[in-house]
Each structure stands twice: as structure tokens, then as C-alpha cells.
Amino acid sequence: MGNHYSPTWFDTFLPRTDPPPVDREVAFIARHLPRTAYPCLLDVACGIGRHVRALAGLGYEVVGIDVSVDALAVARDGAPNGVTFRRHDIRELDALHDEFDGVLCLWQSFGAFDDDENRAVLAAMARRLRPGGRLLLDVYHRDALATLPTVANEYRRGREVRTTRTLEGRRFRVRLSYSDSDDRDEFEWQVFTPGELVTEAASVGLSSRVACAWFDEDIAPSTDHVRMQLLFERPAIGVDAG
């Protein structure tokens, strides 16, 4: 398994010339991983590097990894100082050998594999943290997905996008078709409730720090909000993970 994104998907949702803003996400990161205490970050599945660039602009040292050659080509084009991009599979994080103050995994980049592989990815992200380091996951709330329509049509960048959604147990599937392209995209994730993710994180030695929706600490995760953010921390040396 694993999700691969077509050129039409990138042109529709992450256009090179006018990508969506990341101000809210970056402000949240700066609040909970302030640069003075968490200067070196790893962005897992960084895509075209929107967050990497913005964080570098705030003075962070950032490594962005992604498996997509095309996305990384866009990310590297004119990348600022303090940024490193690497082509790397999310399932091979232990090969990095680096240690980071913080790890970011945003925009539902976690969960693309089966239960065992997803747990292994989570454990590997925990191992990339230095003691006291923090992991931020930005993912879908499974119970909120159940409230969405199974079929939806919308217009983006002048094209009609048809979305078909299926939620079966803990697996969420999305199929996209486009009015002006033969490209078809199909994605699948293992999705969680907040409590399940806290339990999974605890199993790999991470403690929960923050749980919210839409990068707003005042909004609790619930069925009203499809996206949620969970911040975890690796215990400092000498601190009991329990």
C-alpha cells in the first residue's frame, strides 16, 4: 500500500504558483515547538515544502523528506538556507540516523499502510526525536469522517472534482476524478479517534501533550471537526514514560 498523487491532484490542491497558506499551522508549531527550544525539525512527507519554507523563514533548521520526485523538485526550487530536502520513504526513517527536536507529519500523511506498518512508522518517528522532543500529527478524526457525504462534487481551479468516500471500520478510502483529466486518484488510510492515537503513541513511548482541531487549542477534537492535531512528547532522559 501507499498513496501516490497524480499531477492533476497537485495542480488542483497544491498548485505550484499559488499553494494554500500555512500560517495557522506554522503559528501552532511555533507555539508548541518554539525555535529556541526546538530548533531542528523533520517534516515527514513534506510534499512541495510549504511548511518547511515557512519554518525556515522563522529561523528553524528543517529537513523535509518525501517519496515523490516531482514534489521534491518543486520543494527544492529556490529553497532557502537552513533547509534540506531528501527523497526518502516514510517507512525507512531509521535509515536517517539523525536526531531531531521535533517531527512533523501533517495533512493526513500518517496512516497510509496497514496496522503493523503504521505502528512501525509511529515508532520510528518517536526514535527520531531526541529526549524531550515532540511529534505533531495532523490527521483525520475517524468519527467525523462518518458524517461526511459519500459522494461530493466541487469546483477547484476551474475543474470539477468528484469525490467518493468509503469508511469501513478503521479504513478510509477516497476516490477522485476530474472533469478535464484522465487522471484518477485513489487514497486509503487507517484512521483513528483521539483516544486510539494516544494509546498508539503511548505504546511507542510518547506521552500526549495537546489534542485539538484546526490547529486551535480552544477547539476540542470531535465529530464536528474532520481534522485534528495531536502533539506528543518523548520523555526526557530519566523520566518514566508512564
Q: Are residues 113 and 57 in the same domain?
A: yes
Question: What predicted TM-score, i.e. pTM, was given to this entire model?
Answer: 0.94
Does some domain include residue 174? Answer: yes
Does some domain include residue 51? Answer: yes
Beta bridge pairs of residue 207: 233
Q: How far apart are CA 205 and CA 126, in angstroms?
A: 7
Q: How far apart are CA 56 and CA 62, in angstroms?
A: 6
Does some domain include residue 238? Answer: no
Share of the chain above pLDDT 70, in %: 97
pLDDT tens for 184-240 read 999 999 999 999 999 999 999 999 999 999 999 999 999 999 999 999 999 997 544
Q: Are residues 121 and 84 in the same domain?
A: yes
Strands 61-66 and 129-140: unpaired
Share of the chain above pLDDT 90, in %: 89
> Do the beta carbons of residue 40 and residue 55 sit within 8 Å?
no
Q: Are residues 198 and 113 in the same domain?
A: yes
Q: Are residues 183 and 165 in the same domain?
A: yes
Mean pLDDT of the chain: 94
Burial of 233 (0-12, 13-18, 19+ CB in 10 A): buried
On the question of pLDDT at 23 being above 70, the answer is yes
Q: Are residues 151 and 68 in the same domain?
A: no
Q: Are residues 158 and 53 in the same domain?
A: no
- Number of structural domains in the chain: 2
CATH classification at residue 100: 3.40.50.150
Q: Are residues 155 and 179 in the same domain?
A: yes
Domain that holds residue 108: 7-141+193-233
Does some domain include residue 241? Answer: no
Q: How far apart are CA 221 and CA 28, in angstroms?
A: 16
Residue 109: CA atoms inside 13 Å, Cβ hemisphere, count?
Answer: 23
Q: What is the mean pLDDT of residues 111-131?
A: 96
pLDDT tens for 2-17 read 688 999 999 999 888 8
Q: Are residues 123 and 211 in the same domain?
A: yes
Does some domain include residue 239? Answer: no
Q: Are residues 44 and 163 in the same domain?
A: no
Does some domain include residue 219? Answer: yes
